[in-house]
């Protein structure tokens, strides 16, 4: 007669310890794909080539790609970046979006320590180019829905520039490594301009704000400097405060702390707001109110004549104007 407890598969599975072993084996089976050395889809030496290949295969775009430092960029030539109405055509917008998608996709899946993606669209006929700069971290956040669509757009830099057009030959694609501080500064300026133009009633009003910014280390201190002339603003103090809030929002959003002060100069109204880092952090922690910021850190600044000089204009100086001891700074146009 057969032994009632044979060493069979039936008894193997019955024993509790083998059940635990089976569960562990299944877990390993499921986790196996995650084990082993990490494999990157786009190795470092294949990044530019991959961008060019994917753009050609998936979107039929002939691009040139480069990697410099922490920045990866792609260049696309088009026949015209503006249509007959002076607007960017819809299909070009789509191409820019797709190209940015390709660059981001490759940048995320490589072992290179990349931080910025840049897309440059050049007009073949006219020496104009459009530039879109995006932080790779922002792309990850957007992908994981940490930031919304609007914020994602706010964090993308849109710029335009001229380039050296060489007839019948392709101009060189010189890619500059994006510095994080410059990225933040340009973003702040863009946000302020966008916010002002949103509130502006017509096209004329939109043009009445001039703002520029830079990250200055020439004095030994690391300072975010912003210069603005708002030809039409109802409350100058409120204007400066709004700009300060935008600066704070961006620095807080990126958790950036490697600076010493933030300086906002309103040349038209001769006021300047200089807030040091600690005061900014206290403001972020709501230890300082808006009113306190204005009361404690808003001072008089240099005259409008000096401001216009900076912007390339000259206005006769009035005897009532007192040049203040503001630090001379170069606003980068």
Partner 1 sequence: MFWRKIKLFWWNHWVKIVVVAWVIFIFWIPIAALKGIDNYQRDYMIAWLSTMGLQATISAVIFVVLYSWVLQGGLQKLKKRQIKGEGVAIHWKDVIGMDAAKMEARELVELIKDRARIKKIGGNIIRGMLMMGPPGCGKTYLAKAVATEAEIPFISMSGAEFVEVFVGVGASRVRQLFQKARRLAYAHGGCIIFIDEIDAVGRKRVFSAFGGTEETNSTQNQLLAEMDGLKDKDENVIVIGATNAAQDSLDEALLRPGRFDRKIFVDKPDLQEREELFRYYLSKIKFDERIDVARFARKAVQKSPADIANITKEAALIATRGKMESVSADHLSEAMERIDLGLKRNRKVSAEEMSITAYHETGHLMVTYLMHPKDDVFKVSIIPRGPAGGVTYSLPQEDEMFRNKDWFLAEIRTLIAGYVAEKLKFGVTSSGVSSDFKHAMALAHTMVWRLGMGKSESLGDYSSIPEQQLSESIKEKLNSETHEIIQSCLKSVEDLLKKENVIFERFAQELIQRLELDYDDIEAIFKEYGKPNPRVTSKYVPKGEK
Residue ranges in contact with partner 1 by CB under 8 A: 1-6, 8-10, 13, 26, 29-30, 33-34, 38-42, 105, 108-109, 143-144
- Residue 67 C-beta: closest distance to partner 1, Å: 17
The neighbour count for residue 47, using CB atoms within 10 Å, is 23
- Residue 173 C-beta: closest distance to partner 1, Å: 25
Please give the structure tokens belonging to residue 281. Answer: 């952090």
Which C-beta is closer to partner 1: that of 30 or that of 328?
30
Could you give the C-alpha distances from 264 to 57, 213, 215, 248, 316, in angstroms and in order? 48, 9, 12, 12, 24
Rounded distance between C-alpha atoms, residue 301 and residue 226, angstroms: 13
- Residue 99 C-beta: closest distance to partner 1, Å: 17
Which C-beta is closer to partner 1: that of 144 or that of 149?
144
Which C-beta is closer to partner 1: that of 18 or that of 291?
18
- Residue 144 C-beta: closest distance to partner 1, Å: 7
Rounded distance between C-alpha atoms, residue 120 and residue 321, angstroms: 45
Which C-beta is closer to partner 1: that of 109 or that of 171?
109
- Residue 1 C-beta: closest distance to partner 1, Å: 5
The neighbour count for residue 132, using CB atoms within 10 Å, is 19
Instruction: Write phi, then psi, for 296 (nearest 5 degrees).
Output: -90, -35
Max CA separation in the chain (angstroms): 122
Instruction: Write phi, then psi, for 65 (nearest 5 degrees).
Output: -120, 150
- Residue 252 C-beta: closest distance to partner 1, Å: 26
- Residue 39 C-beta: closest distance to partner 1, Å: 6
Q: Which DSSP category does 37 fall into?
A: S
Which C-beta is closer to partner 1: that of 25 or that of 256?
25
Could you give the C-alpha distances from 111 to 114, 185, 205, in angstroms and in order? 8, 28, 47
3-state helix, strand and coil shares in percent for the chain, rounded to the nearest 5: 40, 20, 40
- Residue 285 C-beta: closest distance to partner 1, Å: 31
CA 323 to mean position of chain CA atoms: 36
Which C-beta is closer to partner 1: that of 8 or that of 221?
8
- Angle at which helices 236-253 and 290-297 pack, to 10 degrees? 110
Residues 6+ apart with CB under 8 A from 247: 188, 224, 226, 262, 264
Which C-beta is closer to partner 1: that of 75 or that of 106?
106
Which C-beta is closer to partner 1: that of 39 or that of 84?
39
Question: Which stretches within the chain are classed as H helix?
Answer: 9-14, 16-31, 47-59, 90-108, 136-143, 149-154, 180-199, 203-206, 236-253, 277-284, 290-297, 304-310
Which C-beta is closer to partner 1: that of 42 or that of 283?
42
Rounded distance between C-alpha atoms, residue 263 and residue 214, angstroms: 10
């Amino acid at each position: 007669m057969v032994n009632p407890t044979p060493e069979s598969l039936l008894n193997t599975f019955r024993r509790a310890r083998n059940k635990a072993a089976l569960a562990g084996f299944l877990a390993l089976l499921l986790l196996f794909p995650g084990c082993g050395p990490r494999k990157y889809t786009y190795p470092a030496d294949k990044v530019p080539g991959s961008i060019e290949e994917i753009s050609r295969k998936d979107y039929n775009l002939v691009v040139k790609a480069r990697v410099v430092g922490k920045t990866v960029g792609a260049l696309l030539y088009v026949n015209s970046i503006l249509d007959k109405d002076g607007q960017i055509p819809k299909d070009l917008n789509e191409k820019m979006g797709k190209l940015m998608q390709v660059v981001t996709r490759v940048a995320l899946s490589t072992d290179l320590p990349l931080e910025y993606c840049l897309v440059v669209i050049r007009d073949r006929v006219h020496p104009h180019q459009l530039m879109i700069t995006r932080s790779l971290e922002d792309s990850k956040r957007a992908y994981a829905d940490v930031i919304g669509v609007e914020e994602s757009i706010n964090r993308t830099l849109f710029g335009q520039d001229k380039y050296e057009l060489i007839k019948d030959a392709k101009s060189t694609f010189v890619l500059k490594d994006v510095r994080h501080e410059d990225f933040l500064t340009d973003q702040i300026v863009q946000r302020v301009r966008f916010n002002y133009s949103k509130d502006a009633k017509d096209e004329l009003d939109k043009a009445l704000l001039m703002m520029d910014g830079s990250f200055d280390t020439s004095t030994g201190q690391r300072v975010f400097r912003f210069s603005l002339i708002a030809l039409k603003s109802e409350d100058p103090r409120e204007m400066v405060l709004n700009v300060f809030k935008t600066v704070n929002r961006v620095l807080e959003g990126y958790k950036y702390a490697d600076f010493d002060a933030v300086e906002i100069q309103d040349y038209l109204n001769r006021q300047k707001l200089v807030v040091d880092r600690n005061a900014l952090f206290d403001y972020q922690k709501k230890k300082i109110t808006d009113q306190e910021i204005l009361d404690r850190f808003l001072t008089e600044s240099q005259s409008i004549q000096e401001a216009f000089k900076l912007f390339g204009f000259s206005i006769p100086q009035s005897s009532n104007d007192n040049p203040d001891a503001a630090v001379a700074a170069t606003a980068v146009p």
